[in-house]
Amino acid sequence: MAEPLKAMYNEGFLRSLGRKLHGACEMFEIEAFVAEAMREPWEELELKARMRRITEALGAYLPADYEQALAVLYAIDHECTGFPYLIFPDFVEVFGQNEEYWELSIKALERFTSKSSAEFAVRPFLLRDPQRMMEQIQVWSRHSDEHVRRLASEGSRPRLPWGQALPVFKRDPSPVLPVLEQLKDDPSLYVRKSVANNLNDIAKDHPDVVIGIARRWKGTSTRTDWIVRHGCRSLIRKANPEIMAIFGYAEEEESAPLVAAAALSVDPSVLRIGDNCVLSYQLRLREGEAVRVRVEYGIDFVKSGGKTSRKLFLLSDKTVPGGTGLSAVRTHRWADLTTRRHYPGAHRIALLVNGREAAFTELLLEPAAPDEGTL
């Protein structure tokens, strides 16, 4: 099994960082820093908690003056790049929010984001003074560095994973929209992915806003079309009628249903958590003109309390001639994941075409087999 991500923060990492810091600031005490960072209960701390513990240890052993502390970090940040060094913008988040530090902190976030990312650290600043921070984010959206432009979009996402939610933008995303307009044709895919993710966040609370943007932006350029498509992915999964029409998916007709025939099977139909099954489907589309179809299977996963929650898995998304027959076989794994835990029970599995159920089957999931050697 792969090591958990938190394992990157270990004694070796801390000593290496301590040596760099001591080289830039003789007063920095390596041993005391390592001991403070790794004090109990270090082993129990998860990734973000370890990151924050290291940040707090930096605050204890860097110069007490915030500007001087930043100067030490600036002296070594050229050799401190990548995900582990999110601790540098985290230092700004923890120690740099006082009003008198505003300019220093903004410059630090702008600098550190190109070394790792300041998308998490910028959010407390937005929560504290959204108007002032959005003015700065507008400036960042026009920056020459793609990392800073991405920060403008990623930092203002209403629902950033792992980050603090921004309730003010969940309620009203309008302050974010000019930033996305600025970046909608950005030459950097790194930035465009962030813009799409921001739109997808907004769509969860304000689908009408994103539908309007999709109508305006679609056809602007190939880069913008990519953003629109990925930014509307949640609405497509929900088969929102307006979005499905915008992207040209075939509609149902009373006189001629889209799916003329469909079947879905699972083998085996009884298995244990940790096993695999094989799903097979066949369907035939209505005769006539070519149609765009999105074929998915959805599993109603049993949750710990007995309720179910559906997860969709894409099988095919393409335009085909009328009357086309489609079929495929897909192996599905029932092993527990960090993002999904399985529970015993009857699981309904549905075949969906453009969001509508065309066929279904059921699978009985039993508890995992006992470990070998267990009595």
Q: What is the pLDDT of residues 347-358, one digit of tens each?
A: 999 999 999 999
Note whether residue 133 is domain-resident. no
User: Which parts of the chain register pLDDT below 70?
Assistant: 1-2, 372-375
**Residue 331 belongs to some domain of the structure:** yes
Share of the chain above pLDDT 70, in %: 98
**In angstroms, rounded to a whole number, what is the distance separating the alpha carbons of residues 89 and 113?**
7
Give the chain's domain count: 2
Judge whether 185 lies within some domain. Answer: no
- Give the CATH number for residue 362: 2.60.40.10
CA-closest candidate to residue 264, choices 353, 345, 358: 358
Enclosing domain of residue 321: 259-366
Quote the pLDDT of residue 374: 45
Decide which of 88, 121, 154 is a domain's last residue: 121
Q: Which of 72, 94, 121 is the last residue of a domain?
A: 121
Whether 84 is in a domain gets the answer yes
Burial class (CB in 10 A: 0-12, 13-18, 19+), 55: buried
pLDDT tens for residues 80-116?
999 999 999 999 999 999 999 999 999 999 999 999 9
Domain assignment present for 136: no
Give me the pLDDT at residue 369, please. 86
Residue 253, in any domain of the structure: no
Task: Tell whether 241 is covered by a domain.
Answer: no
Last residue of a domain, one of 59, 86, 121: 121
- Residue 352 · residue 259 · CB < 8 Å: no
In a domain, 139, yes or no: no
